[in-house]
Structure 1
């Protein structure tokens, strides 16, 4: 049965399966069939648009990054080949497929009984983020039930983190009653919250570094397209430092600048299309809340408020998210070289950084300086995680049917594996020690208790901190 489900999903793909789920959810929420149908269509079109843009832009960015690396002459043994290989391996293992089927059922039950106020099945595609960790655990321990337990435990704490950030995410990205919960991106909630007061002590909150501030101060040079041109020229020059005297180099530099500007202009348009898939559902959730509690009910104090999980592509094209992510690309390449003990070279997944920083952007209210600073700290720790896990990741990916590129010894995924929190939980479970596993569970239960008892206070605190930014 598991293989049949996988075959169906792989045959139709996310751009067909996700719209069907959106359509069903909309009907269950009593959205009019016509509106539900259009929501489904917008979801399919949006996902297809994301795929086209990322598919076209990834090779361009990857080529520039490789040239930047070649210019340094430094070689690192672990190469980032992108999240796609990990996704294929996740669907190729029995424990991965088991979670894909039974994890969906668990998500529904957890929502129905109130363990979580986050409805995750609407973004079923990103379940491969849980599946890859179970796949790695199965390869190491050969213990099916332990590996499946790891996947379910990761599901539990990711839902808690998604709910903690939900009010801020929905407010910043402008779609009421929605949040994101991809396991490989949600853990950034933790450094965003912990480091934000530190950055305030350093005065980062008083520095006006948001897209709106750029537009006010710089005029036409602060427009997203112009900033795309400028960032593209800088990154292009860094990738061609050894050949700036050649006309071919400047051809690549100027082409990349235009291509990056195109992404800055087109991605928000696709994002708007994709967002239309969720607006009717989010609106219906809000209308039902008003009928139950009245027009003046503050949603921050509504214990029954729940959130629909959307694909993090919704936030990718937002200006502060995209600008911060692009700036972090050359920064993370540089850090990979100078970080003591690091063995990982981020390459292909660098284009995924805007996905990876959405929680940080939401918590800091689009303060680009804070986003970059937090990203540097957390992703640097992530490089150590990826370096440590590279032998296991390489062996597991090869074992479950994905060919390793010729000439590459060790591989990783910067987006999937460079995850300090997930790596710690993984280490606890593969130790097979009741002490470490129990400690992880206790920490989760404490977090869940705090969330259930003080959710409105947590949201109020995050909103207060967000408003401190200039």
Structure 2
């Protein structure tokens, strides 16, 4: 029975987010009694927008990935734990025994929190529920308890929904995504870290005056400050660091510039379908629940990746991550698969700093250090998980595998250690709670300003 459920879930997930998301949004719209023609048109435009976003993001990863690998090879250093990247890790997670139960669990949790007015996010991005499933799977492997695994997945879902609510006002203002929240675990957990880091930098003389912001750069440098040109320049520098020839350097520069130029336009297509649908749902909700605040539609972090500050910070962090991997004591993870996806991790830090690339870099460095060490610590567990689901290991990965970003995510690691009753992890619960409350109160006015 369990195998049959798993087979059905994997078949449905095989449609991919570009098909699943329009279907889910269409069904939600029909449930809210949105006119059939409007629901269908909006759902299709949203799907088409995501096709464009993923296609352009694919150009980014396929260009940055090989350049990052070339930088790694040029160092001549080899580390024993291979970074698979998030796509293989998501496939491994969906093949785990706990994964099929996470989708209905998360849906029920989301509906329950909405019913008691404890979240404003309607998380329609079912495909990314794998983030919660991985958290639950790690707890399951740590404890051997299926029930505790589901509890871990449920806790992860609740925390991320609350973080999505917290960050939504800034997302809507700074990323120009009205009515949207971003409940993607691999990025959302870094929002409070970004806020805390930003507050610390505010207290440091001289450094607190430095504001490397794409908008300000554009005003000062004209065409050379445009996102397109910034992408070209950063791509050229990355190509030089990778040891490319002239053709390779220029090709990489033009491709990164194209990503900077096209990706925001793909987001506008998505919003063309989403805004009418969102407005229609809000109108219905306000009639039935006049005292209820507007709801947010929870989408994949990919809709924010086109922000020039995010891509710029991610590209600058790429060579820094390679250097850190080789000089960091205790690290055994060779960053490869996820180096092209640093934009996902750093996106909410950039948001927390109001697009200040310099501050985002400073905050990003300790995050990278933590990710590398945690990815190394979790390598035995992730390797066992991969073997248990008969994952085909890539060439050169005969030993241990991990994931630089999702395998190194501090929240999942902490949740796993709590389930193991690790004394340090347990002590950190009240400490982190107090820090989060303090950061929330200290930044509330800035986060929720119009």
**Distance in structure 2 (CA, Å) of the matches to 1:132 and 1:341:** 24
Residue 237 of structure 2 corresponds to which residue in structure 1? 234
C-alpha contact (below 8 Å) 2:286/2:292 kept by paired residues:
no
Match of 1:251 among 247, 250, 254: 247
Q: CA deviation at 1:27?
A: 3.6
Are 1:199 and 2:189 an aligned pair?
no
Other structure's SS at 1:366 match: coil
Q: CA deviation at 1:392?
A: 0.9
Match of 1:112 among 115, 119, 137: 115
C-alpha contact (below 8 Å) 1:64/1:239 kept by paired residues:
yes
Match of 2:412 among 419, 422, 428: 422
Are 1:390 and 2:375 an aligned pair?
no
Q: CA deviation at 1:455?
A: 8.0
C-alpha contact (below 8 Å) 2:186/2:344 kept by paired residues:
no
**Distance in structure 2 (CA, Å) of the matches to 1:34 and 1:411:** 48
Match of 1:102 among 86, 102, 105: 105
Residue 182 of structure 1 corresponds to which residue in structure 2? 184
Match of 2:304 among 284, 293, 315: 315
TM-score normalized by structure 2? Answer: 0.89
Change (3 A) 1:393 1:100: same
C-alpha contact (below 8 Å) 1:321/1:361 kept by paired residues:
yes
Q: What is the aligned residue count?
A: 445
Higher mean Cα deviation, 365-374 or 349-358? 349-358
TM-score normalized by structure 1? Answer: 0.86
**Distance in structure 2 (CA, Å) of the matches to 1:455 and 1:340:** 33
**Distance in structure 2 (CA, Å) of the matches to 1:88 and 1:384:** 23
Match of 2:130 among 88, 106, 128: 128
Other structure's SS at 2:273 match: coil
Match of 1:331 among 312, 320, 324: 320
**Distance in structure 1 (CA, Å) of the matches to 2:441 and 2:202:** 23
Q: CA deviation at 1:83?
A: 0.7
Structure 1 residue runs of 5 or longer lacking an equivalent are 295-301
Residue 92 of structure 2 corresponds to which residue in structure 1? 89
Other structure's SS at 1:417 match: coil
The structure 1 segments of at least 4 consecutive aligned residues displaced by more than 6 Å after TM superposition are 288-294, 435-448, 454-457
Q: CA deviation at 1:34?
A: 3.0
Change (3 A) 1:463 1:280: same
**Distance in structure 2 (CA, Å) of the matches to 1:107 and 1:292:** 19
Q: CA deviation at 1:444?
A: 8.8
Structure 2 residue runs of 5 or longer lacking an equivalent are none
**Distance in structure 2 (CA, Å) of the matches to 1:293 and 1:306:** 11
C-alpha contact (below 8 Å) 2:382/2:401 kept by paired residues:
yes
Per-residue CA distance 1:149-208 (angstroms, 9 max, x = gap): 111111111112111212111221122232101112110012112111111122545323
Other structure's SS at 2:82 match: strand
Residue 23 of structure 2 corresponds to which residue in structure 1? 20
**Distance in structure 2 (CA, Å) of the matches to 1:201 and 1:457:** 14
**Distance in structure 2 (CA, Å) of the matches to 1:370 and 1:394:** 35
Are 1:268 and 2:267 an aligned pair?
no
**Distance in structure 1 (CA, Å) of the matches to 2:24 and 2:155:** 24
Are 1:462 and 2:447 an aligned pair?
yes
Residue 361 of structure 1 corresponds to which residue in structure 2? 350
Change (3 A) 1:253 1:363: same
Are 1:278 and 2:290 an aligned pair?
no
**Distance in structure 2 (CA, Å) of the matches to 1:74 and 1:422:** 29
